[in-house]
Structure 1
Amino acid sequence: MKKNEDKVFIRETQFDDYDAIEALKKQYHMQPMLRKSWCDLWQKNPYYDTKWPIGWVLESEVGKVVGSFANIPMRYELDGCSWRVAVASTWVVEPHYRKKSL
């Protein structure tokens, strides 16, 4: 591992990250998802709004996506109150970067 690839940055996932996330998932034999189905998790979700982060990626200093964590909004009811909550999904991180993830 090159020294400049050792640092990671956490940023919000963008819809344009789909290809990089799918490539990362494939490395670790995770279930693939079509682009439309992946985007629909948020864009067709009645509890999503554009202020809601769709997830987080770990990005190396050279711009490679080395980790991903999806953040899917859903409705949850508790004691008669309705809440919008986050459901964690698709957490994958390259082994070298796991000690640096959240």
Structure 2
Amino acid sequence: MDSATKIPRVTEPVQAGRGPKLRETSLDDYAQIASLESRYGLAAKTYEEWTHLHLSNPLQSGRQPGWPIGWVIEDGDKQIVGSVGNIPLSYEFGGRSILAVTGRGLVAEPAYRSMSLVLLDHLINQPGVELFLTNAITPASAPAFSALECVRVPVGQWDESAFWITHYPAFFKGLLAMKNLGWAKPLSYPVSALAFLKDRLTKTALREGDVEVKACTGFDDRFDEFWETLKRNNPHRLLADRSREVMKWH
């Protein structure tokens, strides 16, 4: 089940003099982490969002204080020059719970990016973690994940998109505009009409009456019932926890 083979921990740099060191993240680190993320193009969360992400996580709150919220690299002047967030997740497979983990905001100053491997190693090779998942690998960061023997999910066409069209003219107007085609608005009407007829004739469109949509202001016991049914009907499929408790955290 592991998406990353457990390998010997990457050797941390020797702490000589005022050299960089790696330590666990604390809530007091927020300002420096947010500043570092912003400098290198990451979307920094507000302090309230950041603390909610970590402290309101049903898994993380239950494991505090032993479960770190992340790790930082600190230089000799106690300035944070690298960081990664640590987010535990619960999955189900084969009738049992699986402890998974994902990271957030992997970032480092250029002079310290070689130490990103140490951050990733602490994230991926945590005791008790069976599965590491991420959807944030870029061409630049891919070699670091490969060095830690992370493998790609073996299914899915992630370079293709599927759409459920609820308003044909608006959808095709936006699509044509994205392609920088002139006359996007007038062209959208015949194109949307053809697409609508195709969906109706091939019966791929959602038929009226197939489902009933209700607005919900919160998560009630129906979500737990649905989650239990989903687990029961899919025992051999890896499922992310969608219980009421987890949905409230999201």
TM-score by length of 1: 0.88
Q: 1:26 aligns with which of 38, 49, 53?
A: 38
Counterpart code for 2:56: K
**Residues 1:58 and 1:78: Cα distance change in structure 2 (over 3 Å):** same
Count of aligned pairs? 98
Counting helix residues as a fraction of each chain, which structure ranks higher? 2
Match of 1:8 in 2: 20
Q: Is the 8 A contact 1:11 1:57 kept in 2?
A: yes
Counterpart code for 1:41: L
The 5 A counterparts of 1:32-51 are 32-48=44-60, 49-50=63-64, 51=66
Match of 2:86 in 1: 71
Counting strand residues as a fraction of each chain, which structure ranks higher? 1
Gap runs ≥5 in structure 2: 1-16, 119-250
Match of 2:173 in 1: none
Tell me which moved more, 65-74 or 75-84. 75-84
Counterpart code for 2:94: D
Q: CA deviation at 1:83?
A: 2.0
Q: CA deviation at 1:86?
A: 1.6
Gap runs ≥5 in structure 1: none
Q: Taking CA–CA contacts closer than 8 Å with sequence separation of 6 or more, which of the two structures ends up with the larger relative contact order?
A: 1
Q: CA deviation at 1:85?
A: 2.1
Detail structure 1 runs of 4+ shifted over 2 Å in the superposition: none
Q: Is the 8 A contact 1:8 1:100 kept in 2?
A: no
Counterpart code for 1:65: I
SS in 2 for 1:47: helix
1:68-90 CA-partner distances (Å, limit 9, x unpaired): 01000110122221022221111
**RMSD in angstroms over aligned alpha carbons?**
1.4
| Identity %, equivalent residues | 37
Aligned equivalents of 1:77 and 1:29: distance in 2? 34
Aligned equivalents of 2:110 and 2:93: distance in 1? 38
Q: CA deviation at 1:12?
A: 0.3
Residue 98 (1) aligns with residue 108 (2): no
